[in-house]
Amino acid sequence: MKLHEYQSKQIFAKYGVPIPKGRVAATASEARQIAEELGGRVVIKSQVLVGGRGKAGGIKVAKDPAEAEKFATQILAMEIKGLPVRKVLVDEASAIEQEIYLGITNDRAAKKPVMMASAAGGVDIEEVAATTPEKIIKVHIDPLLGLRDYQARDIAASIDLPRENWREFGQIANGLWGAYKATDSTLAEINPLVINKNKKLVALDGKMLIDDNALMRHHDLAEMRDTDEEAPSETEARKYGLSFIKLDGNIGCMVNGAGLAMTSMDVIKLFGGEPANFLDIGGGAGADKVAAAMRIILSDPNVKAVLYNIFGGITRCDEVAKGILAAMEEVKPEVPMVVRLVGTNAEEGRALLADADMITADTLADAAQKAVAAAQSPGGKGA
């Protein structure tokens, strides 16, 4: 789960990372009021969960409260990469002497968190990594011991940070590690961390990704999720514990198991079709979950055919069949459906669906070919 900049910076501040004074606003008049409170120049920053806000014109410096209101009005009317801007962060403007990058992420190959720092901050760090990787310092953190003070000093020295800032940098690095650990982040990033005119370090921007699997023990963070910024079908799917991702094709897919769900998409493509979604109903899904999944798939107007590929293990094929029947009763689908049931209680499942208006298949390849043909036939069912 992605957090907004203002949410990330609030968390960083709790762990002793200095951030600029500022607050988030949902209207231009609120933005003006915050600018009045702060006095002086302010930065108006769109809060959307995509990168490249600055380039898109979603970040502007205002010289006074009137200009803050004007810019906030403009930015709140924007869409950035398809996402409407609903909030702006109004921060006091900083005079910047140097920009640094500092972040922590998981190194899955090393099985350890890794702290990364670069003197080339303020720009797209992935581009720095691709073009001049030697400019990024990487230090692995032992997950059982945590970040050691000497490691932070080594990083400060490696990026040629002025010695007078080392102590401060140590506190910030330690604070970032604390925030990362306490929130079960998969990424905690300050870009840029700046040295301002007073020679002090300040985190001007912040980004955090929280491990979805850990949200069960972070209810406060789970509530921070901004559902305005995802497809409504994905929000709905999460409610039912379904793993769903909307894609651009026209063949809806319902599968049990993530690997098999990806494979079903691949095989559809192999036979010339395009999947409309990734959908894993998970292990042991009952009829209710299956019905919810079907509603979500069919809510996409692009869908011209649906493929059900169920390999029963923990999941029982008869339960899935019951769910399909219940959902068909309710949704009255008008697109052709191809179903393949194998494994636990497959016979019972097939018997339940014998009278339903569905195309059956024995193998995955067969099912995919039938779904592709069905999606291409004009008029769908009844034509």
Partner 1 sequence: MSILVNKNTRLLVQGITGNEGLFHTTHMVEYRTNVVAGVTPGKGGEWVLDGKVPVFDSVKIAVEATEANASVIFVPARFAADAMFEAADAGIPLIVCITEGVPVQDMMRVRNYLDQKKVRLVGPNCPGLLTPGEAKVGIIPGNIAIPGNVGVVSRSGTLTYEVLYAMKNLGMGATTCVGIGGDPVNGTNFIDVLDMFEHDAQTEKVIMIGEIGGTDEEKAAEFIASKMTKPVASFIAGQTAPPGKRMGHAGAIIEGGAGTAADKIAALEAAGVRVAKHPEEIPTLLK
- Residue 290's SS3 state is helix
- The answer to whether residue 70 forms part of the interface with partner 1 (CB under 8 A) is no
> Helices marked H in the chain — which ranges?
5-14, 28-38, 65-76, 125-131, 149-158, 166-182, 219-222, 232-239, 258-270, 287-298, 317-331, 346-353, 364-376
In the shown chain, the binding pattern of residues 76 to 105 toward partner 1, with x for contact by CB under 8 A and - for none, equals: ------------------------------
The residue within the footprint of partner 1, chosen from 24, 202, 221, 267 (CB under 8 A), is: 267
Could you tell me the smallest distance in angstroms from the CB atom of residue 277 to partner 1?
Answer: 11
Helix (H) or strand (E) holding 188, with range, is strand 185-196
CA distance 101 to 192: 5
- The answer to whether residue 283 forms part of the interface with partner 1 (CB under 8 A) is yes
Q: Is 101 a catalytic residue?
A: yes
Catalytic residue among 5, 99, 189, 319: 189
CA distance 191 to 118: 10
- The answer to whether residue 109 forms part of the interface with partner 1 (CB under 8 A) is yes
Helix (H) or strand (E) holding 2, with range, is strand 2-3
Question: Looking at the DSSP assignment, which residues form a beta bridge with residue 278?
Answer: 245
The residue within the footprint of partner 1, chosen from 269, 295, 350, 381 (CB under 8 A), is: 269
Could you tell me the smallest distance in angstroms from the CB atom of residue 273 to partner 1?
Answer: 10
Q: List binders of partner 1 among 199-238 (CB under 8 A).
A: 211-214, 216-217
CA distance 123 to 101: 9
Could you tell me the smallest distance in angstroms from the CB atom of residue 258 to partner 1?
Answer: 3
Could you tell me the smallest distance in angstroms from the CB atom of residue 44 to partner 1?
Answer: 27
Q: Which C-beta is closer to partner 1: that of 62 or that of 317? A: 317
Question: Looking at the DSSP assignment, which residues form a beta bridge with residue 203?
Answer: 193
Q: List binders of partner 1 among 342-371 (CB under 8 A).
A: 342-344, 363-365, 368
The residue within the footprint of partner 1, chosen from 261, 276, 290, 371 (CB under 8 A), is: 261
Q: Rounded to the nearest 5 degrees, what angle is found at the Cα of 331, between the Cα atoms of 330 and 334?
A: 140
CA distance 206 to 49: 12
Q: Tell which residue, 251, 115, 262, 127, has the closest CA to residue 177.
A: 115
Q: Rounded to the nearest 5 degrees, what angle is found at the Cα of 47, between the Cα atoms of 16 and 97?
A: 55
Stretch binding partner 1 (CB under 8 A), from 65-73, 190-198, 256-264, 328-336? 256-264
- The answer to whether residue 43 forms part of the interface with partner 1 (CB under 8 A) is no
Pair 243, 234: CB distance under 8 Å: no
Q: Is 234 a catalytic residue?
A: no
Could you tell me the smallest distance in angstroms from the CB atom of residue 43 to partner 1?
Answer: 27
**Residues annotated as part of the active site:** 101, 189
* Contact positions vs partner 1 (CB under 8 A): 106, 108-109, 111-113, 126, 129, 142-144, 181, 184, 186, 211-214, 216-217, 243, 245, 247, 255-263, 265-270, 275, 278, 280, 283, 311-314, 342-344, 363-365, 368
